[in-house]
Amino acid sequence: MISTQHLRRLGAALYELPIGAVPGMRVPGKVFINEALLEDLAEDRSLEQLANTATLPGVVKFVAAMPDIHEGYGFPIGGVAATELPHGVISPGGVGYDINCGVRVLLSDLSADDVGDRMGDLGSQLMRAIPSGTGRGGRIRLDSNELNRVLRYGVGYCVERGWAAQNDTEYLEEHGCLTGADPTHVSDRAKKRGMDQLGTLGSGNHFLEVQKVDEIFDEEAGKAFGLFPGQIVVAIHCGSRGLGHQVCTDYVRRMLSSLNKNRIELPDRELACAPADSAEGSEYLSAMACAANFAWANRQVIQHHVRIEWQALFGAARGLRTLYDVCHNIAKRETHILDGKSVELLVHRKGATRAFGPGHPDVPEAYRSVGQPVLIPGTMGTASYILKGAAEAMEASFGTCCHGAGRRLSRTAAKREVEGESLRQELEAQGIAVRCFSARGLAEEAPLAYKNVEDVIDVVETAGLARRVARVRPVAVIKGE
3-state secondary structure 250-291: HHHHHHHHHCCCCCCCCCCHHHCCEECCCHHHHHHHHHHHHH
- Residues shown for the chain: 481
pLDDT value at position 31?
98
10-residue mean pLDDT series, the chain (481 residues): 91 96 97 92 91 98 97 96 97 97 97 92 90 68 95 97 91 96 98 94 88 98 98 96 97 97 96 98 98 98 95 91 97 95 97 97 97 96 96 96 91 88 90 83 87 96 98 91 60
Map out the domains of the chain with their CATH numbers: 4-408+450-479 (3.90.1860.10)
pTM recorded for the entire structure: 0.96
Which tens digits make up the pLDDT trace of 435-460?
887 777 788 888 899 999 999 999 99
DSSP 101-119: -EEEEEEEEEEHHHHGGGH
At 306, which amino acid appears? V
Main-chain phi, psi angles of 326, to 5 degrees: -120, 145
- For the chain, the straight-line distance linking the first and the last C-alpha, in angstroms and rounded, comes to 35
Query: Angle CA(374)–CA(30)–CA(284) in degrees, nearest 5?
Result: 70
Distances (CA, A) of 390 to 329, 347, 374, 469: 21, 18, 10, 12
pLDDT value at position 395?
95
Q: Could you give the residue ranges of the DSSP H alpha helices within 2-142?
A: 35-38, 46-53, 112-115, 119-129
At 357, which amino acid appears? G
Cα 41–chain centre separation: 21
Binding site per annotation, positions for Mn(2+): 98, 206, 237, 328
Main-chain phi, psi angles of 76, to 5 degrees: -70, 150
Pairing relationship of beta strands 231-238 and 207-216 according to DSSP bridges: antiparallel
453: DSSP letter: H
Contact 421, 463 (CB under 8 A): no
Going by C-alpha positions, the residue among 178, 171, 187 that lies closest to residue 150 is: 178
Which tens digits make up the pLDDT trace of 56-85?
999 999 999 999 999 999 999 999 999 999
Query: Angle CA(459)–CA(463)–CA(467) in degrees, nearest 5?
Result: 80
Binding site per annotation, positions: 98, 205-209, 237, 328-329, 377-380, 384, 403-406, 479
Alpha-carbon span 139 to 422, nearest angstrom: 32
Distances (CA, A) of 75 to 50, 56, 238, 274, 299: 6, 11, 20, 15, 25
Alpha-carbon span 165 to 156, nearest angstrom: 10
pLDDT value at position 47?
96
pLDDT value at position 136?
60
Cα atoms found within 13 Å of the Cα of residue 456, Cβ hemisphere only = 31
pLDDT value at position 481?
60
Percent helix, strand and coil across the chain, each rounded to 5?
Answer: 40, 25, 35
Q: Which residues are catalytic?
A: 403
pLDDT value at position 135?
58
Q: 327 exposed, middle or buried (CB, 10 Å; 0-12, 13-18, 19+)?
A: buried
Give strand ranges (E) for 329-432: 329-338, 341-350, 352-354, 373-376, 384-389, 400-402
In sign, the C-alpha dihedral spanning 424, 425, 428, 429 is negative
